[in-house]
A and B are shown apart, each in its own frame.
Chain A
C-alpha cells in the first residue's frame, strides 16, 4: 500500500474500524462474527472504491456494515427476553441471585448484558447513537426508518434499561 489512495484507505481503517465493529457487534452480538464483517466491509470498500464518494463517512459505513451484518445473521432477530420485557413485572428477589452478584461487581458488564438483551430494533439505534456518533436522522438513513421512529426507539431502549437498572439497584438491598 504505497500509493496515496492506499494511504488514504489505511487512514480510513484506522479511523473507523472500531466504529464499524460496534455496528456489526450490535447486530450479531458476537465478537468474531463482528470482526469478520468489519474485514469484509473494508475489503468490499477497497475493491469498489465506494468509500471515496461517501459524503457522510460514518453514515455510509454504518449503512454498509449494518446490511452486511444483517445478511450474515443466521436467523431473524429474537424477541426480547422476557426478563427485560416492559410488560412483565420484575419479581422481587429476597436474596441476590448469581446474576445480581455479577451485576453488582461490574455494573458496566451488567449494562452490556442488558443492551445485548434488548431487541435488535432498539439495540442498534442505541449503539449508533452512543457518544453522538450518529444523530437520529443519520440512524434513520442507516436503518431505513423515519427519524421519529428512531427517536421513539431510543427513548424506549433507555426506558427499558433504566427500569432494569433501577430494579437492580434496589434488589441487592431489598
Chain B
C-alpha cells in the first residue's frame, strides 16, 4: 500500500513543478502587448484612411458617371463620327406595314431588347442624334414615289390611292356552307326474288 501511494505522491509533486516558466513571464507578456498596442493604432488609422479614400474615389466616380449629359452638345454632335446603324435596329418592311406595330414610335420599335446587355451598352454609348432617324438620301423607289406624287395628274394620284386602299383593305371571305350529305336509303330486292 505504501509502495503504491509513493509513486502517486511523487507524480503529483512532479506535476506541480512541471513546465515552470522562467521568472518575469508576465512582465514579458505585458511588454509585448504594450508594444503591439502602441503599433496597432497607427496601422489601424492607416487602414481606415486608405479605406475611406478608396470609398470616396469610388463615390466620386459613380457621381461623375451619373452626372454625364445624356446626349452631347450641338458641336459635339456635329463633330461626332457617323455611326453605322446595326442591322438589328432597322425594322423590316413587313413589320413596318403590319398592324399595331406601325403606330408605335419609331425609337421604341428600334430599341434593342432589354435582356440584351451588350446591345444596351452599345446603344448607351451611341451619341443621341438631334434628328432621329438619321437623314439619309432617298432610295430609287422613294424618289420615284416623290416624282409621281408631285408630277402625276390628280386623277392618277386618286386612282393610285384608291388602289392602295383596296390593297390594304381586309379580304372578305364568305362563309363556307356545306350542305349535309344526303344518302338515299339502300333498296334491297325482296327476299325470294332471286
Given known contacts A35-B21, A38-B25, is B11 in contact with A46 (CB within 8 Å)? Answer: no
Decide if A134 is an interface residue (CB 8 Å cutoff): no
A13, A22, A34, A108: which contacts B29 (Cβ < 8 A)? A13
Stretch at the interface among A57-65, A78-86, A88-96, A157-165: A157-165
**Are A17 and B14 within 8 A (Cβ)?**
no
Stretch at the interface among B33-41, B59-67, B88-96, B168-176: B33-41
**Are B14 and A111 within 8 A (Cβ)?**
yes
Q: Which secondary structure dominates chain B's binding surface?
A: helix
B14, B20, B34: which contacts A107 (Cβ < 8 A)? B14
Residues of chain B within 8 A of A25, CB atoms compared: 18-19
For A10, give the chain B residue with the smallest CB separation.
B30
Beyond contacts A38-B29, A39-B33: 4 other A-B pairs, Cβ-Cβ < 8 A, are A21-B19, A35-B25, A127-B19, A130-B18
**Are A22 and B10 within 8 A (Cβ)?**
no
For B21, give the chain A residue with the smallest CB separation.
A21
**Are A13 and B10 within 8 A (Cβ)?**
no
Q: How many residues on chain B are close to A (CB under 8 Å)?
A: 28
**Are A111 and B25 within 8 A (Cβ)?**
no
Q: Write the nearest CB–CB distance from B45 to chain A, whole angstroms.
A: 16
Per-position binary interface string of chain A over residues 81-125, scored 1 when its CB falls under 8 Å from any chain B CB and 0 otherwise: 000000000000000000000000001100110010000000000
Q: Write the nearest CB–CB distance from B32 to chain A, whole angstroms.
A: 5
**Those 4 A-B pairs whose CB atoms lie nearest each other, nearest first:** A111-B14, A130-B15, A25-B19, A21-B21
Residues of chain A within 8 A of B37, CB atoms compared: 1, 46
**Are A18 and B25 within 8 A (Cβ)?**
yes
Chain B interface residues toward A at CB < 8 A:
3-4, 7-8, 10-22, 25-26, 28-30, 32-34, 36-37, 40
A-B contacts, CB under 8 A, total: 94
Q: Write the nearest CB–CB distance from A80 to chain B, whole angstroms.
A: 17
Residues of chain A within 8 A of B32, CB atoms compared: 39, 42-43
Question: CA–CA, A10 to B22, complex, Å?
Answer: 18
Question: CA–CA, A22 to B20, complex, Å?
Answer: 7
A17, A43, A161: which contacts B36 (Cβ < 8 A)? A43
Question: CA–CA, A17 to B32, complex, Å?
Answer: 13
Question: CA–CA, A31 to B18, complex, Å?
Answer: 11
Residues of chain A within 8 A of B15, CB atoms compared: 111, 115, 126-127, 130-131
Question: CA–CA, A28 to B5, complex, Å?
Answer: 30
**Are B25 and A17 within 8 A (Cβ)?**
yes
Query: Can you show 26 pairs from A to B with CB atoms below 8 A apart?
Result: A1-B37, A10-B30, A18-B20, A18-B21, A18-B25, A21-B25, A34-B19, A38-B25, A39-B29, A42-B29, A42-B32, A43-B33, A43-B36, A46-B36, A46-B37, A47-B40, A108-B10, A108-B13, A108-B14, A111-B11, A111-B13, A112-B18, A131-B16, A158-B8, A161-B7, A162-B8
